[in-house]
Structure 1
Amino acid sequence: MNAEINNALEVLKNGGLILYPTDTIWGIGCDATNEEAVSKVFNLKGRDASKSMIILLDNDNKLSSYVREVPELAYELIEYAENPLTIIYSGAKNLAPNAIHEDGSIGIRIVKHPFCQQLIQRFRKPIISTSANISGSPSPANFSEVSDDIIKGVDYVVDIDQHDFSKKKSSTIMKLEPDGRFSFIRR
């Protein structure tokens, strides 16, 4: 795994795109603070720039670096969530402007996948995570379902979990307001 982390780190540091396994489905990733790299993800997916993407962090201690006001409830939700949980927060900061939704919000998931955790920890920055598909196409449930266009469009394909054919699904998404009110976007 160390060699794969080193290879992915080099690509991220140079503004490139990686195709990698997460605790949910396979994702396309890049440095979430690099506007040019984020643009490459939008272009590869053919995704409307008005749609935001989520970022991954390795632990919840880093939330306050990217969100102006983290509601206390967020820490409990993250700790007790049984399935991968993406929380949309208001007041995103210190990220590429095109990674942030037009309303100023950002979706963040604290990842539990060992490769992702170590990669983000060593990179010391959040990474973009968006489903490894062309916009409008179904999200791949495992590596075997990732299209050739995506594989050829990234700078590096991580060689971990490619032979795991179990069907993965996307995370639960909820919007959490600074005052603690929340609503589910996707369960």
Structure 2
Amino acid sequence: MTDDIIKACEFLERGKIILYPTDTVWGIGCDATDSYAVKRIYEIKHRSDSKALIVLSDSIDNIADYLAPLSKETELLLNDSSRPTTVVTKAYIGLAPELLAEDGTVGVRITHEEFSSQLCRHFGRPIVSTSANVSGYPTPATFDEISDVIKDTVDYICTSRRDETEARQPSRVIKVEDNGNITILRP
């Protein structure tokens, strides 16, 4: 796994796109601070850039500088290791603007899964994570279900966890408003 993480980080450092296992489904990823790489992900997915992408980090400490100050509720949701949870919150500075929704928010998830957590920690910056499918098509539950279209357009495919057959589910998505109200966007 260590060699795979080092290799993936080499590609991320060069502004390339990777296909990698996350705490939920396999993801297409790049450096979340690199606008050019983020635009490439939209192209690969044939997805409108009006649909924001999410970012992964291994800890609140490593994402906090990119976000507006987090409420206690937001921190609790992000640190909830019982279920992968993406929290939509206000961005601050440093993330590629293409990641942000029109209202200046971004989806953030702290990953507790070993591979993606170590990848984020080793890379040292947030990593984009979007499901490994072309927009409008079903989200692949395992590596074997990822289309050749996706596999042929990314720059590096991680070798870790390819043989897993257990389907993983996408994260729940929760938006935390400035006033503290919580809206469940995806249960």
- Band of TM-score, shorter chain: over 0.9
| 1:88-114, Cα deviation, whole Å (9 max, x unpaired) | 002442101111112100000000111
Query: Does the 8 A contact of 2:17 with 2:41 survive in 1?
Result: yes
Residues 69, 91 of structure 1: 8 Å contact kept: no
| Alignment-derived partner of residue 128 in structure 1 | 128
Q: Give the equivalent residue in structure 2 for 1:179.
A: 179
Q: Could you tell me whether the CA contact under 8 Å between 1:71 and 1:177 is conserved in 2? A: no
The residue identity in structure 2 corresponding to 1:27 is G
Change (3 A) 1:178 1:35: same
| Greater mean deviation of Cα atoms: 96-105 or 14-23 | 96-105
Counterpart CA distance in 2 for 1:81 and 1:180 is 21
Structure 2: how far apart are the matches of 1:144 and 1:92? 37
The AA in structure 2 aligned to 1:84 is P
- With 137-146 and 76-85 compared, the bigger mean Cα shift is at 76-85
1:74 Cα deviation from its structure 2 partner: 1.4
TM-score, structure 1 length as denominator? 0.96
Q: 1:10 to 1:92 in 2, by over 3 A?
A: same
Conservation of the 8 A alpha-carbon contact between 1:70 and 1:178: no
Letter in 2 for 1:135: S
Q: Offset at 1:81? A: 4.9
Contact 1:71-1:179 at 8 Å conserved across structures: no
Give percent identity, aligned residues only: 39
TM-score after normalising by structure 2: 0.96
Q: Give the structure 2 partner of residue 66 of structure 1.
A: 66
* CA spacing shift, 1:69–1:6, aligned 2, 3 Å: same
- Deviating above 4 A after TM superposition, structure 1's stretches of 4 or more consecutive aligned residues are none
Q: In 2, distance between residues paired with 1:113 and 1:92?
A: 26
Structure 1 gap ranges (5+): none
Following the alignment from structure 1 to structure 2, what is the Cα–Cα distance between the partners of residues 76 and 96? 25
Shift of 1:78: 2.8
Match of 2:31 in 1: 31
- The DSSP-based 3-state class of the residue aligned with 1:60 is coil
Q: What do residues 142-183 of structure 1 show as CA deviations (whole Å, max 9, x unaligned)?
A: 101100000011000000111101111100000012332111
1:156 corresponding residue in structure 2: 156
Contact 1:134 1:150 in 2 (8 A): yes
Verify the 8 A CA contact 1:92 1:106 in the aligned structure 2: no
- Single out whichever of 110-119 and 31-40 deviates more from structure 2: 110-119
Using the TM superposition, give the Cα deviation of residue 117 of structure 1 relative to its aligned residue in structure 2, in angstroms.
1.1
Q: 1:51: which partner in 2?
A: 51
What is the distance in 2 between the residues matched to 1:7 and 1:109? Answer: 23
> Aligned residue for 2:8?
8
- Tell me which amino acid in the other structure corresponds to 2:12: L
Residue 85 of structure 2 aligns with which residue?
Answer: 85
Unmatched 5+ stretches in structure 2:
none
